[in-house]
Structure 1
Amino acid sequence: MTARWPDPDRANIGRYVASLDLRSMKSRTCYRQVLHGFQDVAERYEALGQEVLLAWLRESAIRRAASTLLHRTRIIDRFLERLVELGAIERSPVAALRDECNIKQCMPIWRALASRDPEKALAELRQPRPFGSVLGEMMAGHVAMMRRRGYKYTSQPLLLLRFDRFLQLHPGLETEPLSAMIDRWAATNGTRHHAEECEKLKRVLAKILRHRDPSMPERRPDPRPRKQAARQWRKPHIYSPADVRRMLDVARAYPSPRVPLRPLSMYTMLLLAYCAGLRRGELAGLDLGDVDLQDGTITIRQTKFFKTRILPLPDSVVVELRAYIDARRRAGGSQDARSGLFWHERGDGHYTPEMITWLLADVIRRAGLKPLRGKTGPRVHDLRHSMVVNRILEWYRTGINPQDRLPFLATYLGHRDINSTLVYITVTQDLMHYANERFRAVGAPCLNLRQEVGS
């Protein structure tokens, strides 16, 4: 039978710290101090609940700064989760408060507990129950039906949940007609983005009502809110080939003494992001078995729009991939075909999409293309935009009509249709120049011919 906690011999703490495989003695000492201090407090109470968390925070605040204390709470969170897995405790008190407030993160709970008035802070933190409004049952049923039909249906439920939360916070709207509810929600925010959200909500709710009553007339969508919102979107940055070379040089020289393979991994990520137009999630999802060096292809499995595609790569990229895979093997990377192509020693061996974004964004900053702080400036996803624009420029230079090649480019990028690819075509000065030259060569003689015939 699993020992309960708090355990007198504190063996749970010792086993937990040993299982973490912490590299430095300083980290192991820190974990032990935090966990032993937490158990000292827990032993003074009959049950592991909110009172224990408050008492530990009060006593720890005497010795540690507020920022350091909140950082230490992560150690407590993970330890409590391990105790639940072992059966030493029935439930983590932090998880209980998180469920009570209907939130997913632990840190807001700790911040509320560490405030001057924890009860008031927790009350302000509590979120309404999902789909608990007067329309909640209807909206939840629609989401479940769409997912049963095989749709991912991820963005629409988030929109419906925001509207549902608004209705719960304004109970006086329960007797109002649906149009009045939406108008009140639209009045809460005057931004163009919110106006576009309201139009999306009207479209989704109209679909729900038509599913319930097929005799209802179909609602005609209003394109104006989307067009107005699109005017304020940040335009993609198109990297020049010189910019890409600079980023590749920075990636190769990236300082990473503890993880020697990381610079080459980042270099190869940049190559595939630009040369193959891969999304960050596609980079993270690549396995070793997805690379076929003999045929010079990579397989992208079940990504956006449920598509799997096999992409041919230029010979120069295949050479770099082969060099990376050899370096990966020498570094001790798993040779299992299901292991991550971009491998590292921690966790499950895969880089997460978030980690890839952070690393490549840091390369962009070090290359001098993005400010050192903030979210402004070029993005990692702009590599995909740049791949499209530079490929069309190359077609123009070699005398190829890009219009004939766009369906192939859409397939290569994993788009549903050519309309999705057109979004990636950013008009640059070079692109406008080549388009004008093509029109002068092909279209202008046609115009002269019409004038001659008319005369």
Structure 2
Amino acid sequence: MTASELARDAQDFLRFKRAMGQSYLRGEFVIGGFIQFVASHWGRDGGVRLDVAVARWTARIAGRKAVTVGLEFGVVRQLCLYRRRHDPSSYVPEHALAPVKESHFQPYIFSHDEVRQLLAAATNHNGRFIWSPMFRALVLVLYCTGMRLGEAVRLRMVDVDLKRGTLLVQHSKGRSRIVAIRDDLVRELLHYIEARQQLLGNTHRPDPAVLFLRKDSSPLTVKSASEALRVLLRKFGMKPQSGRVGARPYELRHAFAVHRLTAWSVEGVDVHARLPWLSAYLGHLNVLGTEVYLKATPQLLDLASSRFEEHLHHARRPR
């Protein structure tokens, strides 16, 4: 196998993935890095056994998190599986080469007061590119829907149906979904869209047809939105002044999920029966991705413990 042959097969593989409706941009990045690794070690046309190349590429950086290695390995393994369709003898690495271990990462779960604090700061924000009506609407959409930051930033005007109270998230993680929103969020978005129209009139720029605009009427980017949110998190001490530790913008999604589960639990709802609902709403591929929120906060665990203790108290004693 040569790097040139891998590059050719990779293009076929990416066309196949995109024909199935997946953007596969992250996968393309990983595969490109793998091919570059092979080319740098054995040349574009130098032969190498694929099992050797995959093993050395997987172990190329010492001390990496097992979850990260496993996710990248999974992409290259998918490429190998695709190659086997045309060549039954083609090598496919075993999962044991890069086992995906359980992540012990604990997200920062915002309290309701912290969410209100962030919203108040966004409402009064006046930055060079980030303006307050847009920033307030963005924080509300993130917290009230649990959308990923990229999903919210990529919303187009045609994806927003305020008469029906829905937002359309298109082609995220290989699928699309309709997100229903409450009437109070509808009213907030109506106010923002009015301000958005005034902004376009003041800047005399054509409408880029995306929901969230920066102060110069250009489309909001994930990078600028993420940076603006991190500034607020550092301002209120939820994140250190430097480094990657502490709360992240993504934690608004975690807060939505945990607060929803906690509310159901307080109401006496069977949380496990509602998990598939929440899973579909969040755009998870399966309910396993949603179950992790059940142990994300001590409050949920305390509620579960209290319910179980109450159940035991009322249970009949054995004769």
SS in 2 for 1:300: strand
What do you get for the CA RMSD once the two structures are aligned?
Answer: 3.5
2:41 partner letter: H
| Contact 1:238–1:382 under 8 Å retained in 2 | yes
Select which of 181, 184, 187 maps to 2:56: 184
What's the counterpart of residue 226 of structure 1?
A: 100
| Residue among 32, 39, 43 paired with 1:168 | 39
Deviations 1:170-200 (A, max 9, x none): 2289555332333333443322437536743
Find out whether 1:406 has 2:278 as its counterpart: no
Matches within 5 A, 1:318-333: 318-332=186-200
Q: Quick one: structure 1 residues 134 and 214, their matched pair in 2 at CA, closer, same or farther if it must change by over 3 Å? A: closer
* The one of 11, 15, 18 aligned to 1:144: 15
Equivalent residue, structure 2, for 1:241: 112
Paired position in structure 1 for 2:184: 316
Mapped contact 2:142–2:253 kept (Cα < 8 A): yes
Q: State the alpha-carbon separation in 1 of the partners of residues 240 and 117 from structure 2.
A: 16
1:319 Cα offset (Å): 3.1
Q: Which of 200, 209, 216 is the matching residue for 1:346? A: 216
Which one-letter code corresponds to 1:340 in the other structure?
V
CA distance in 2, matches of 1:198, 1:342: 32
Q: State the structure with more CA Rg.
A: 1
Q: Does the Cα contact within 8 Å between 1:237 and 1:378 map onto a contact in 2?
A: yes
**CA–CA separation in structure 2 for the residues paired with 1:161 and 1:204:** 14
Matched, 1:212 2:86: yes
**Count of matched residue pairs:** 313
Choose from 146, 158, 165 the match for 2:29.
Answer: 158
Asked if structure 2 preserves the Cα contact closer than 8 Å seen for 1:274 and 1:384, the reply is: yes
State the secondary structure of the residue aligned to 1:350.
coil
Question: Structure 1, unaligned stretches of length 5 or more?
Answer: 1-130
- Relative to structure 1, the CA distance from residue 356 to residue 176 in structure 2 (aligned partners, 3 Å threshold; closer, same or farther) is closer
Between stretches 240-249 and 134-143, larger displacement belongs to 134-143
SS at match of 2:101: helix
Kept in 2: contact 1:273–1:279 (CA 8 A):
yes
Report SS of the residue matched to 2:81.
Answer: helix
Query: Structure 2: which 5+ runs fail to align?
Result: none
Instruction: Tell me if structure 2 keeps the 8 A contact 1:278–1:384.
Output: yes
**How many angstroms apart in 2 are the aligned matches of 1:251 and 1:308?**
27
Identify if the C-alpha distance between structure 1 residues 170 and 431 changes in structure 2 by more than 3 Å, giving closer, same or farther.
Answer: same
Q: Is the 8 A contact 2:50 2:91 kept in 1?
A: no
Deviates more, 1:243-252 or 1:141-150: 141-150
Tell me by how many angstroms 1:419 deviates.
Answer: 2.4
Higher deviation after alignment, 266-275 or 202-211: 202-211
Do residues 203 (structure 1) and 77 (structure 2) align? Answer: yes
Provide Cα deviations, 1:99-158, integer angstroms capped at 9, x if missing partner: xxxxxxxxxxxxxxxxxxxxxxxxxxxxxxxx8446443444333343344443333333
Asked if the contact 1:289–1:338 (Cα under 8 Å) also holds between the matched residues in 2, the reply is no
Judged with a 3 Å threshold, the aligned counterparts in structure 2 of structure 1 residues 250 and 204 are, in CA distance, closer, same or farther, namely: same
**Partners of 1:254 and 1:309 in 2: how far apart?**
30
Matches within 5 A, 1:54-65: none
For 1:11-45, what per-residue CA distance to the aligned partner results, in whole angstroms no more than 9, with x for missing partners? Answer: xxxxxxxxxxxxxxxxxxxxxxxxxxxxxxxxxxx
CA deviation after TM superposition for structure 1 residue 247, in Å: 0.7
Return the alpha-carbon distance in structure 1 between the equivalents of residues 97 and 56 of structure 2. 21
Decide whether aligned partners of structure 1 residues 292 and 147 sit closer, same or farther in structure 2, where only a CA change above 3 A counts: closer
Alignment correspondent of 1:363 = 232
Local SS of the residue matching 2:96: coil
Structure 2 contact 145–179 (Cα < 8 Å) conserved: no
SS at match of 1:298: strand
Q: Provide the TM-score with structure 2 as the length reference.
A: 0.81
In the TM superposition, residue 224 of structure 1 has moved relative to its aligned partner by 6.6
Q: Name the CA shift for 1:280/1:240 in 2 (closer, same or farther; >3 Å).
A: same
Higher relative contact order (CA 8 A, sep 6+): 2
Verify the 8 A CA contact 2:80 2:91 in the aligned structure 1. Answer: no
Confirm whether residue 282 of structure 1 aligns to residue 154 of structure 2.
Answer: no
Q: Which amino acid aligns with 1:438?
A: R
User: How far 1:311 moved relative to its partner?
Assistant: 1.3
Change (3 A) 1:337 1:311: farther
Q: Deviations over 1:402-440 (max 9, x none)?
A: 111111112222233322323444521101101112222
Residues 152, 316 of structure 1: CA spacing in aligned structure 2 closer, same or farther, 3 A cutoff? closer
- How has the CA–CA distance of structure 1 residues 361 and 211 changed in structure 2, closer, same or farther, with 3 Å as cutoff? same
CA 1:322–1:301: 2 relative to 1, 3 Å: same
Cα distance in 2, alignment partners of residues 445 and 224 from structure 1: 47
Identity of aligned residues (%): 28
Counterpart residue type for residue 210 of structure 1:
R
Distance 1:201 1:296 in 2: 37
CA shift for structure 1 position 218: 7.8
Contact 2:30 2:75 in 1 (8 A): yes
Q: TM-score, normalised by structure 1?
A: 0.59
Paired AA for residue 160 in structure 1: I
* Worse-matched range after superposition: 398-407 or 206-215: 206-215
Secondary structure of the corresponding residue to residue 387 of structure 1: helix
